[in-house]
Structure 1
Amino acid sequence: MAERCRFIFVYGTQWPVPYERVSSRPTNNAYCQAGLIPFCAPGKTEDAMIYVDDDNDTVEIFALKKPVWSFKFGDLMAKFKIMHDALGFRSQKTGRNWTMEWYELDQLFNCTFPHVLKNDTFIWCDQGALCVYDGIVDSMWNGSSDLSMLKKVGEIYGKDYNKWATWAVDDNNTGVYYETWSAYSDPGPNATMYFDSYDCASFVIRGLNHLLASGARILPDVHLNYTRLNIYTHEPELLGTYDQIVQNQTLHSDFISFYREFDSKKPKTGDWVKSLVQIYETFYLTRRFYFYYNNVYWYMKLKESTPLKVTFDEIPIISLLDRFN
């Protein structure tokens, strides 16, 4: 959707707000846990990387796509076009192949909402990281869903791939926070983008763009669609950091009440049902949202006509290198 966003300044705010990077990856809070499965279960650590030995080798590039939580729900999420994206690679010289996935350290709901503690403080379990492992599991990416994908999209020389792989390590160590939502002024083609998501698809998009800039030869007529969870809102109002919010007792009380309903550590099924009802009420009845981005909070008054929508639009492989740099 790069062609539909525009950059504007309002009261010193740049739209979309640039994603802030860090100098090095912080330690993940011990309170945070992945839940159903550990992060990067295939084996390699989050900042490991696979390189090729021969600079003259040719490395094939694959776009990979499967339904979110397919390990538990099969193709269910594909019916809502909620898909997970990754990149695959194969050495033509050795036949070795490997997979790269950037996703949540502590799973999706943990990254989307904070944990509210009894003393009304927060813990955000919102780190994402790169998982690199040997092999491309064909059955994982070639599921029964029509949206699943294991598709060759290009090739790159070994020496150029190795330079790109070094970029990917740095990208992983400096872009560490997962952001679920994209926020727009409206669903139309001339909408203002307020915030862009930073998720599995974002890694694939910037990864392919950097591969292109590094000398990759992209195959003609490649068409790739990506899932976006979009919020449509009036112009967001900057509230500040949590420490600034607590200075306003009324705002702080509403703020805590809002986030407590979404706390992802729910012990009983009934509490999960209550959270789902609260999500519906937030978007479609009360039409308000407290949005967290770059360690500060924004207030959103959601649009009446379309407050929330899942899209699955094509984003071309073009050299847009500035968005997350």
Structure 2
Amino acid sequence: MIFQYLLVALLSFVIIYGTQWPVPYERVTNRPTNNPYCQAGLISFCPTGKTEDAMIYAQDDNDIIEIFALKKPVWSFKFGDLMAKFKIMHDALGFRSQQTGQNWTMEWYELDQLFNCTFPHVLQNDSFIWCDQGALCVYNGIVDSMWNGSSDLSMLKKVAQISGKNYNTWASWAVNDNDTGVYYETWTVYSDNGPNSTMYFDSYDCASFVIRGLNQLYSYGADILPNIHLNYTRINIYSYEPELLGTYDQIVQNQTLHQDFLNFYHNFDSKKPSTGEWIKSLIDIYETFFLSRRFYLYYNNVYWYMKLKQPAPLKISFNEIPITSLLKMK
């Protein structure tokens, strides 16, 4: 009930005062239970990690914890370096204790894999189930072969170090960050591809965790190594100013809009029984992006309509930038 009041207040504010760009990512007070309908499919979430008290802490305040940037192609466990050809990469952080030699890995990613996190499942009664939670996976060890693959884009690179005491403060921050930031957001939405473009929506994904984590490590006293350059994958949509539609319950009041809404999301639903249905959906998806140039975006539990720009409304970016430009400098 409290959430409903807050949502109404948010919608009223937007109507009266306009929208803040980018729209702030909404955090929660407690992580909700993942719907049992949602299944990861190819591989379960965090198969080798700890399910309880997952965070790993430094054993000595005077220890020095080395910090590594990790990168590998998405779905490399199944497709090898295929996704690297499209510059679709997964990011994580690695840590090593100089005192004990222990090392460990932290990855924030989808509970139910990427496609399930990006689009809903459309049920027979025209309702939706979103499987869009992401979470932090913490496990012992850094598997060198995983991050130092054959792709030129793979990475296992030391980028910083921090005292054990300050690392432990950061680790507690990471637990809270994981408990309150629970929804995976695939898309970054801009007004255009130029240097002065407006960002409408920011992604919240594996790379976001690394950037957020490095920022917080820096604010807690981490020494950042000089001349480090990092790349992060963004899946960008270019749109005219988005139009707020509201909640699903508000959308169903307009029968024409509701039907178009269902048709749009049905094309992206990953649970399709036949190859023929998939081929038809791929054709419809192409038409959606490049011919009709429209998109319904789900963000912070409300829906937005976007009229996409031409000629290239969708683009994957992978720009190399100095690590210092990612940090909120002191």
Q: Tell whether the structures are fold-level matches, with TM greater than 0.5.
A: yes
Report what 2:8 is aligned to: none
Report what 1:101 is aligned to: 107
Counting only pairs closer than 5 Å after superposition, residues 193-204 of structure 1 correspond to structure 2 as 193-204=199-210
- Answering whether residue 293 of structure 2 is matched by residue 287 of structure 1, we say yes
The amino acid that maps onto 1:25 is R
The offset of 1:306, in angstroms, is 1.9
- Answering whether residue 254 of structure 2 is matched by residue 248 of structure 1, we say yes
CA contact (8 A) 1:102 1:128 kept: yes
Q: Which runs of 5+ in 1 are unaligned?
A: 1-8
Residue 194 (structure 2) aligned to one of 157, 166, 188? 188
Identity of aligned residues (%): 80
- Answering whether residue 252 of structure 2 is matched by residue 231 of structure 1, we say no
The offset of 1:299, in angstroms, is 0.3
Quick one: structure 1 residues 99 and 199, their matched pair in 2 at CA, closer, same or farther if it must change by over 3 Å? same
Report what 1:21 is aligned to: 27
Counting only pairs closer than 5 Å after superposition, residues 161-176 of structure 1 correspond to structure 2 as 161-176=167-182
* Bigger relative contact order, structure 1 or 2 (CA pairs below 8 A, ≥6 apart): 1
Alpha-carbon distance in structure 2 between the residues aligned to 1:139 and 1:278: 39
The offset of 1:158, in angstroms, is 0.2
The amino acid that maps onto 1:242 is Y
> Larger helix proportion, structure 1 or 2?
2
Moved over 4 A (4+): none
The amino acid that maps onto 2:28 is V
Q: Which runs of 5+ in 2 are unaligned?
A: 1-13
Counting only pairs closer than 5 Å after superposition, residues 205-224 of structure 1 correspond to structure 2 as 205-224=211-230
- Answering whether residue 125 of structure 2 is matched by residue 119 of structure 1, we say yes
The offset of 1:277, in angstroms, is 2.3
- Structure 2 length-normalised TM: 0.92
The offset of 1:272, in angstroms, is 2.8
The amino acid that maps onto 1:80 is F
Alpha-carbon distance in structure 1 between the residues aligned to 2:112 and 2:291: 30
Partner-residue secondary structure (3-state), 2:233? strand
Report what 2:162 is aligned to: 156
Quick one: structure 1 residues 320 and 281, their matched pair in 2 at CA, closer, same or farther if it must change by over 3 Å? farther
Partner-residue secondary structure (3-state), 1:224? strand
CA contact (8 A) 2:27 2:181 kept: yes
Partner-residue secondary structure (3-state), 1:14? coil
Q: Deviation string for 1:208-230 (max 9, x for gaps)? A: 00000010001000111100000
Query: How many pairs were matched up?
Result: 313
The amino acid that maps onto 1:267 is P
Report what 1:48 is aligned to: 54
Q: Deviation string for 1:107-133 (max 9, x for gaps)? A: 000000000000000000000000000
